Structure 1
Amino acid sequence: MDETRWTVEVDQSACLGTGVCASVFPARFGLTRGKSRPLHGESGPDAELLDAAELCPMGAILVRDRATGVNVLPEDD
C-alpha cells in the first residue's frame, strides 16, 4: 500500500497572482488578496498538482514529499 503524501505550498514572495493555477485547477487553488493559495496543504500524489506547478509562470508552487521534504516540483538540483 502506497502511503506517499505530498505537501503543497505557494511561495508568496514569488507569486504574482496571475491566477493561472486557480483558473485551471479551481478545486486545488484559490486567490486571496491577489495571491495564490492551495485549498489543501496536503495530498496524495496527484497529476493535477504537478500540472499546476509546471504551469505557474513564476514557479511559485512547491510540491514536496511530506516524509522526506524533497521537492517533487520544482525538482531539487
Structure 2
Amino acid sequence: MSGRQRTAGPGPDTARTTGAAGPQQWRVTVDRACRRTGICTASAPRYFTADEQNRTRVVSELVAPDEDLLAVAESCPAEAISVTDRHTGLPVTDDD
C-alpha cells in the first residue's frame, strides 16, 4: 500500500480547508498504473469517471479537502491515485 492511513471522518475536514495561502485545495491525479477496476468510480463518482476506453479520469483536478477521497485513494489496488496539496505539492495523508 501507499502508506496513507485512514481514520473515520464525516466528510470534508474543516481544519484543512483554510490556510495562509487561502482556502486549501487538493490536486487529484490518476496515473498510468490504473488497472481499470472501477473501485474509485463506483465509490466516489463525484471525483472519478470512466472514459469510453474505461480509463479512470478525475472529474475535477482541484478539489476541497475530503476524508472520503483519501479513503478511495487508499483503496486503489494499483496505488494509481495521488492526492497532493495544491499549494505545497506534498502528498496528503490522513495523519496530516
Unaligned runs of 5+ in 1: none
Cα deviation code 1:2-51 (max 9, x no counterpart):
1111100001x200110000011112111111211111111111112101
Percent identity over the alignment is: 39
Amino acid of the structure 2 residue aligned with 1:22: T
Q: Does 1:61 align with 2:86?
A: no
Give me the TM-score of the superposition, normalised by structure 1: 0.85
Instruction: Give every structure 1 segment of 4 or more consecutive aligned residues whose post-TM-superposition deviation is greater than 6 Å.
Output: none
- The partner residue of 1:22 within 35, 41, 48 is 41
Unaligned runs of 5+ in 2: 1-16
Amino acid of the structure 2 residue aligned with 1:39: V
Q: Higher strand share goes to which structure?
A: 1
Q: Per chain length, whose mean CA-contact separation is higher, i.e. which structure has more relative contact order (CA < 8 Å, sep 6+)? A: 2
Query: Which has the greater radius of gyration?
Result: 2
Indicate the RMSD between aligned Cα atoms, in angstroms.
Answer: 1.4
